[in-house]
């Protein structure tokens, strides 16, 4: 089922009738009448094709119009008898989508794809048939717009994620896919009123989370704003109606203020010799709601912010107009942004300034040239993505191409559709920070991005080999959040490798997918063995034979979208799948499949603890929060894509997380054969005195422990110093012996293990 379809399915009888009346195979493009010919009966009551014909004739050649006409006839024939929920013939929807694309002056292939975009999905037309009639480029576009209804997924969420992944990857190869899809979504949102409230909310939320950020990322501000408004009206209908009523009530009071500002600004600019077009804009209802929600403002406070566009003739006049406005009204401190010198990711350019206007009200001005205004409204459609005759790309084309390419990079590093979608959604949100390389190149990153995100933005290899960072020429942790204007330098080493802990603070999808990809590869053997062990234990706890029959494995792979049993084991080993859930799923297969026999074995019915040897790699990690050592009672937590985290049982963080998600915890215990040292922290409170640090350090060394970190905290009022050591010991017995030795040193007041 189409996630956004508003169309009822055509009956099998209607399909039979359609193909009997008008077989498609014998039709030739050159033999068909022009688009302006009388419309077939299926179109009665729907929108006329005349508007589309008129728009296309403005920029397409006669030969291209013939091709579009054939696509229209084909689509009308295929959808004959199919109706929309509104009662209109289905063909009205493809025509409306094509008309939106024609407003953007998309080429003939894109218009044809718009007319045909549902024939594969709704009517089971094969790609080969489209290639035969319209060529491979059009068929590929339509295929990219079609969903994966024939594949069975474990959940609606997984199906939705896979559909989005297919669409975004098709978009990465040809941006026309997403332009047609946005037109499709826009028309569906405009006609969403006939749907049930539940479906309205689902489609509106999907639009808000994915399609609106994509429209913003491509600079399609007209579509971006309209989709926002439509999604808001269907997602929160009562709030939308309340705000609409309030805005209508005060609109007359605002007219006087707007007129006075327009008159004052126009007169002042003309007096300074600046030729400009000025228009005031009313805040959208969603813009009002978002500002009220985020900043906890009242309706009247938000409504007092007015917005004006000033479009001038030259680049230099943008800055002259800015100075003129600042002389006319007082600027608000910190409310100026120069997007001309540093454009946004979608090539948006303007000067933004907020001034105190008449009656003390804040007024926002956006100053730009005519070309900047065109790009601000039309985005990537303002100048087409493809190369010109000389093979050159504009700055916008290069940035868009780089972003689309990054989708392919994330796809290569991601093995899961939902994970891929989450990575992409992170990068779609519009708030950005702009930072500089040491050579003054500007890098744009999502707000909240860290120095490590910057490293991965430069190149995946740079991120993987990062060991340190400098921000504004000062050393800084890799997790440091970046701010506008920061100069960032990355220090690398060929021996450095990504750490699972990095996943806790990176912000960008590219960084997260690259780290996940490395951890999967380097950790595959360990994860596979651990996962196999855990699944065997889970099956044994259900009194089932851990040795799976080939037919069971085949059924399991078919229903889990995994390519091999080893992939399932590896997913369990890194916490991506839960062994208990996989075991329960196998039981369901055995019970529901008559050809498979339940093979019970005599077991204790409970899972044996996982043995911790201390020499494991990335698959098993000792948690840094409590730093457990042999002798501590321990417990294990599976964290997605980080494997098994071992905590001390009395760790406060572990207790809180176990209460939230108890299913991810298993029993673990220390092996009796341990031959290594383990990190732990101790705090030693001492009297300030000559040589006290040296004596404590010497005693720790004499106790056969290694010091790997030391810090000091002075308390000058009481003449005391707290020494904080990270040391390596064999076990709790070794640590207790060391602490007794240190406690006997003259000047030591207190010593304790730090497990905060």
636-646 pLDDT, tens digit per residue, is 887 765 667 88
Class of domain 237-381: alpha beta
Fold of domain 12-146: Hypothetical protein af1432 (1.10.3210)
Active site residue 99: no
Domain with CATH 3.30.70.260 in the chain: 678-754
- Decide yes or no: CATH 3.40.50.2300 for domain 678-754: no
When pLDDT is averaged across residues 304-322 and rounded to a whole number, the result is 85
Bridge partners (DSSP) listed for residue 352: 337, 366
Of the pLDDT bands very low, low, confident and very high (cuts 50, 70, 90), residue 665 is: confident
Would you state the structure tokens that stand for residue 491, as one six-digit string? 């220090």
Phi-psi category of 167—alpha, beta or left, where left has phi over 0 and alpha has psi -120 to 50?
Answer: alpha
Q: How far apart are CA 716 and CA 92, in angstroms?
A: 81
Q: Of 216-225, 350-359, 512-521, where does the model show the most confidence?
A: 350-359
Q: 680 - beta bridge partners?
A: 727
Mean pLDDT of the 238-250 span: 84
Residues of the chain with CATH 3.30.460.10: 237-381
Catalytic pick among 7, 70, 118, 122: 122
Catalytic site residue from 7, 77, 118, 121: 121
Q: Which residues contact 459 (CB under 8 A, 6 or more apart)?
A: none
User: Per residue, what are the HEC states of 318-332?
Assistant: HHHHHHHHHHHCEEE
Residue 159, pLDDT > 70, answer no
- In angstroms, the CA 362 to CA 729 distance is 64
Active-site residue, 122 included? yes
Residues of the chain with CATH 1.10.3210.10: 12-146
Q: What is the DSSP letter of 283?
A: P
Give the angle subtended at the CA of 347 by the CAs of 405 and 292, to the nearest 5°.
105
| 295 Cβ neighbours under 8 A, 6+ residues apart | none
Least confident of 73-77, 92-96, 163-167, 678-682: 163-167
Per DSSP, what are the bridge partners of residue 617? Answer: none
For 511, residues 6+ apart whose C-beta sits below 8 A from its C-beta are: 452, 453, 455, 456, 457, 463, 502
- Give the least confident one: 285-289, 493-497, 513-517, 692-696: 513-517
Query: Mean pLDDT over all residues of the chain?
Result: 77
What's the DSSP call for residue 141? H
Find the distance separating the first CA and the last CA of the chain, reported in whole Å.
52
- pLDDT at position 739: 94
Per-residue confidence band for 404, with pLDDT thresholds at 50, 70 and 90? low
Non-local CB neighbours of 244 within 8 Å, separated by 6+ positions: 285
Q: Collect all residues with Cβ–Cβ distance below 8 Å to 135 and sequence separation of at least 6.
A: 109
Q: Please state, in angstroms and as integers, the Cα–Cα distance from residue 281 to each residue in 140, 242, 310, 372, following that order.
A: 40, 21, 11, 17
Q: Write out the two tokens for 568.
A: 């399932």
Q: Which fold has domain 431-521?
A: Ubiquitin-like (UB roll) (3.10.20)
Higher pLDDT, 12 or 525: 525
Residues of the chain with CATH 3.10.20.30: 431-521
Instruction: Report the C-alpha dihedral over residues 290, 294, 298, 303, rounded to 10 degrees.
Output: -40
DSSP secondary structure string for all residues of 284-325: PHHHHHHHHHHHT--HHHHHT-EEEEEEESSHHHHHHHHHHH
């Amino acid at each position: 089922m189409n996630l956004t379809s508003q169309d009822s399915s055509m009956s099998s009888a209607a399909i039979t009738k359609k193909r009997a009346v008008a077989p498609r195979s014998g039709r030739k493009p050159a033999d068909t009448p022009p688009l302006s010919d009388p419309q077939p009966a299926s179109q009665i009551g729907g929108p006329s094709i005349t508007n589309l014909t008129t728009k296309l004739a403005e920029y397409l050649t006669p030969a291209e119009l013939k091709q579009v006409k054939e696509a229209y006839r084909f689509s009308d024939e295929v959808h004959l008898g199919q109706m929309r929920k509104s009662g209109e013939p289905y063909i009205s929807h493809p025509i409306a989508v094509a008309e939106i694309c024609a407003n953007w002056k998309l080429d003939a292939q894109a218009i044809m794809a718009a007319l045909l975009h549902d024939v594969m999905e709704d009517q089971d037309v094969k790609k080969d048939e489209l290639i035969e009639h319209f060529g491979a480029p059009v068929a590929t576009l339509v295929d990219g717009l079609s969903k994966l209804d024939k594949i069975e997924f474990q959940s609606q969420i997984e199906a939705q994620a896979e559909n989005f992944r297919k669409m975004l990857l098709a978009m990465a190869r040809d941006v026309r896919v997403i332009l047609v899809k946005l037109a499709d979504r826009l028309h569906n949102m405009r006609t969403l009123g006939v749907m049930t409230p539940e479906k309205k909310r689902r489609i509106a939320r999907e639009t808000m989370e994915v399609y609106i950020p994509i429209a913003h990322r491509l600079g399609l501000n007209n579509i971006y704003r309209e989709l926002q408004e439509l999604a808001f009206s269907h997602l929160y209908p009562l709030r939308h109606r309340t705000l609409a009523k309030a805005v209508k009530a005060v609109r007359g009071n605002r007219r006087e203020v707007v007129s006075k500002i327009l008159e004052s600004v126009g007169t002042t600019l003309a007096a300074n010799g600046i030729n400009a077009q000025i228009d005031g804009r009313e805040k959208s209802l969603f813009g009002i709601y978002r500002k009220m929600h985020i900043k906890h403002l009242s309706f009247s406070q938000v409504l007092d912010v007015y917005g004006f566009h000033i479009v001038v003739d030259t680049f230099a006049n943008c800055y002259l107009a800015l100075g003129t406005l600042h002389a006319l009204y007082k600027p608000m401190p910190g409310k100026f942004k120069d997007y001309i010198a540093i454009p946004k990711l979608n090539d948006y350019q303007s000067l933004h300034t907020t001034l105190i206007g008449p009656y003390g009200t804040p007024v926002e001005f956006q100053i730009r040239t005519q070309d900047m205004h065109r790009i601000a409204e039309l985005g990537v459609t303002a100048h087409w993505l493809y190369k010109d005759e000389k093979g050159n790309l504009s700055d916008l084309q290069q940035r868009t191409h780089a972003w689309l390419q990054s989708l392919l990079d994330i796809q290569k590093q991601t093995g899961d559709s939902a994970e891929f979608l989450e990575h992409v959604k992170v990068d779609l949100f519009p708030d950005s920070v702009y930072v500089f390389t040491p050579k003054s190149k500007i890098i744009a990153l999502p707000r909240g991005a860290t120095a490590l995100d910057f490293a991965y933005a430069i190149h995946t290899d740079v991120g993987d080999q990062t060991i340190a960072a400098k921000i504004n020429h000062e050393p800084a942790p890799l997790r440091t959040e970046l701010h506008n204007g920061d100069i960032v330098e990355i220090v690398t080493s060929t021996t450095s490798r990504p750490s699972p802990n990095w996943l806790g603070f990176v912000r960008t999808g590219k960084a997260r997918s690259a780290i996940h990809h490395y951890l999967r590869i380097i950790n595959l053997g360990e994860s596979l063995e651990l996962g196999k062990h855990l699944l065997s234990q889970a099956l044994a706890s259900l009194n089932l034979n851990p040795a799976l029959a080939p037919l069971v494995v085949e059924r399991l792979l078919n229903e889990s979208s995994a390519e091999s049993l080893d992939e399932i084991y590896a997913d369990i080993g890194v916490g991506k799948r839960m062994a208990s859930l996989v075991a329960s799923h196998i039981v369901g297969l055995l019970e529901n499949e008559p050809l498979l026999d339940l093979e019970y074995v005599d077991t204790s019915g409970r899972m044996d603890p996982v043995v911790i040897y201390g020499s494991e790699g990335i698959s098993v990690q000792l948690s840094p929060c409590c730093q457990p050592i042999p002798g501590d009672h321990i417990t294990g937590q599976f964290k997605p894509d980080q494997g098994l985290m071992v905590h001390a049982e009395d760790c406060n963080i572990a207790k809180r997380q176990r209460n939230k998600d108890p299913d991810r915890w298993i029993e673990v215990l220390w092996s009796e054969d341990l031959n290594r040292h383990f990190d732990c922290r101790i705090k030693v409170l001492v009297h300030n005195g000559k040589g006290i640090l040296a004596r404590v350090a010497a005693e720790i060394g004499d106790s056969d422990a290694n010091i790997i970190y030391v810090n000091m905290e002075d308390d000058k009022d009481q003449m005391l110093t707290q020494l904080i050591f990270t040391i390596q010991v064999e076990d709790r017995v070794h640590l207790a012996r060391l602490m007794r030795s240190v406690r006997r040193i003259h000047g030591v007041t207190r010593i304790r293990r730090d497990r905060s």
